């Protein structure tokens, strides 16, 4: 118990400071190149910025972790030089970009279901029907017979289930709900669809950002929430083993994320906007997604355009080697090659 208490205390102190850094410090930084958007890839982007600065001095870069929805708004308002979104953009949003928009898949990752159950030291198995019903509010107790049947070796506690969800406009929410929409008629019959923000049913707690979800789960017995894999790993949260499209129960890992991308890379369209809400394959993790940088096709300031291209080219080539150590899925070679080609079209 003592190591667990220390972990919780550490995150109680550190994570709130991370929020302050993301929300308030980042937008005030005077940088030569400014970006804003998704929290899902933010730890990797911040690491890229640091490594790029060490190897390619000449200009400074800042990135504000404000969520995909806000990142799209700032990009369209041209208050940042680049945006970042786990949903890319829809066609209506893209049409509002005065200088055009180029989608650049920069990284990929998986969304996990992390939880906090006292005295449960084995990973939970959750079927597709079960985790849909948990987030629909139809399964309300952890010792429900449907969960127990999937986990006969675990003594499940008599606790209410509380789902931890995103309050902000979130690409992580869109990725998760796009998956639920793809796998469950019950989700659609209940009146829900894929969206960056959802009025969640059942007993839920709403917080901002991936780190906020992780922090709330850490401090809430009986909680389960959807969160980016790297964030959950760094917080020390247990993560459920999920049933995939082929009926296999797959633990979350960089390898299972790579398996999810591998079979879908040939489907990448010319605009590089590919969603994989329910990937096939025995070892494929079921909730996987690309994450995009949003660039203008034409930069009115040529110097800014060249800075953007230099940084993003480095991310697509040298930067990919840092993905695994931070819990992200490196781009398949075919995808990174097409992304580099698309970057050449930015003027």
- How many domains does the structure of the chain reveal? 2
152-203 tens-digit pLDDT: 999 999 999 999 999 999 999 999 999 999 999 999 999 999 999 999 998 9
Indicate if 305 and 200 belong to the same structural domain: no
Indicate if 220 and 296 belong to the same structural domain: no
Indicate if 132 and 228 belong to the same structural domain: yes
Indicate if 91 and 236 belong to the same structural domain: no
Taking the C-alpha atoms of residue 199 and residue 191, their distance in angstroms, rounded to an integer, is: 11
Beta bridge partners of 26: none
Is position 127 within any domain? yes
293-345 tens-digit pLDDT: 999 999 999 999 999 999 999 999 999 999 999 999 999 998 999 999 999 99
The band of 29, judged by pLDDT with boundaries at 50, 70 and 90, is low
48-74 tens-digit pLDDT: 999 999 988 889 999 999 999 999 999
Taking the C-alpha atoms of residue 50 and residue 48, their distance in angstroms, rounded to an integer, is: 5
Pairing of strands 241-243, 125-126: parallel
Indicate if 121 and 260 belong to the same structural domain: yes
Indicate if 163 and 220 belong to the same structural domain: yes
- pLDDT, position 18: 37
Q: Quick check: 260 and 285 in contact, CB under 8 A?
A: yes
SS3 (DSSP) at 150: helix
CATH classification of the domain holding 239: 3.40.190.10
Q: CA of 188: how far to CAs of 21, 33, 70, 193, 207, in Å?
A: 38, 41, 26, 6, 24
Burial 33-68 (b: 16+ CB within 10 A, else e): bbbbbbbbbbbbbbbbbebbeeeeeebebbbbbbbb
Q: Quick check: 41 and 328 in contact, CB under 8 A?
A: yes
Is position 282 within any domain? no
The parent domain of residue 10 ranges over: 2-109+269-276+288-343
| Complete edge-to-edge strand list for the sheet that includes strand 125-126 | 125-126, 241-243, 249-250
Specify the DSSP class assigned to residue 160: B
SS3 (DSSP) at 78: coil
Examine the fold and report which residue of 204, 231, 265 is the final residue of a domain before the chain moves on: 265
């Amino acid at each position: 118990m003592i190591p667990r208490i220390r972990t919780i205390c550490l995150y109680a102190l550190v994570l709130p400071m991370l929020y302050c850094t993301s929300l308030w410090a980042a937008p005030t930084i005077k940088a030569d190149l400014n970006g804003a958007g998704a929290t899902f890839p933010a730890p990797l982007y911040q690491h890229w910025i640091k490594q790029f600065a060490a190897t390619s001095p000449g200009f400074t870069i800042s990135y504000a972790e404000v969520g995909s929805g806000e990142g799209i708004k700032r990009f369209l308002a041209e208050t940042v030089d680049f945006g970042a979104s786990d949903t890319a953009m829809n066609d209506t949003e893209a049409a509002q970009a005065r200088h055009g928009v180029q989608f650049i898949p920069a990284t990929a990752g998986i969304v996990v279901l992390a939880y906090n159950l006292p005295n449960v030291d084995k990973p939970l198995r959750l079927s597709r029907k079960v985790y849909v019903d948990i987030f629909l509010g139809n399964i309300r107790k952890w010792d429900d017979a449907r969960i127990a049947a999937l986990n006969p070796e675990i003594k499940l506690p008599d606790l209410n289930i509380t789902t931890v969800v995103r309050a902000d406009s979130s690409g992580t929410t869109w990725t998760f709900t796009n998956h639920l929409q793809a796998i469950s008629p019950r989700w659609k019959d209940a009146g829900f669809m894929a969206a960056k923000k959802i009025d969640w049913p059942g007993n839920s707690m709403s917080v901002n950002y991936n780190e906020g979800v992780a922090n709330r789960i850490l401090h809430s017995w009986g909680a389960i929430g959807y969160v980016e894999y790297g964030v959950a790993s760094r917080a020390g949260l247990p993560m459920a083993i999920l049933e995939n499209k082929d009926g296999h129960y797959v633990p979350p890992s960089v390898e299972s994320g790579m398996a999810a991308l591998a079979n879908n890379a040939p489907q990448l369209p010319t605009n590089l906007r590919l969603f994989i809400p329910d990937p096939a394959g025995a070892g494929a993790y079921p909730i996987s997604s690309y994450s995009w940088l949003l660039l203008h096709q034409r930069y009115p300031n040529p110097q800014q355009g060249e800075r953007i291209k230099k940084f993003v080219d480095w991310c697509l080539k040298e930067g990919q080697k840092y993905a695994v150590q931070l819990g992200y899925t490196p781009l398949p070679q075919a995808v990174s090659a097409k992304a580099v080609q698309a970057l050449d079209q930015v003027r």
